Amino acid sequence: MKKIVTVTVFTASFAALAACSNDPQINAAVGGLTGAAVGTQIGSGSGRTAAILGGGAVGAATGAAMTQPSHSRY
């Protein structure tokens, strides 16, 4: 249960931090760090390293894809 709460908090933090920037590089860095932190919480034993690397990769890819919508007015 503790891991679920921790993962939820990290995911919400990632979404909040990524929403502050429209720069894909910053979003990728924040996503990678958050994904690695989530991977640390999920992985155990010999699979922990794989969980950290996988979480970082998925987080970086997701972060790079997140940008703020443009609010153009017609």
pLDDT at 70 (0 to 100): 59
pLDDT tens digits, 35-72: 888 888 888 888 888 988 998 999 888 888 876 565 65
pLDDT at 35 (0 to 100): 85
Token digits of residue 9: 């908090």
Phi-psi region of 7 (alpha: psi -120 to 50; beta: other; left: phi over 0): alpha
pLDDT at 37 (0 to 100): 85
> Which one is predicted more confidently, 43 or 3?
43
For the chain, which residues make up each domain, given as ranges? Answer: 2-17+24-65
Contact in structure between 31 and 59 (CB atoms under 8 Å)? yes
pLDDT at 33 (0 to 100): 86
Token digits of residue 34: 């958050």
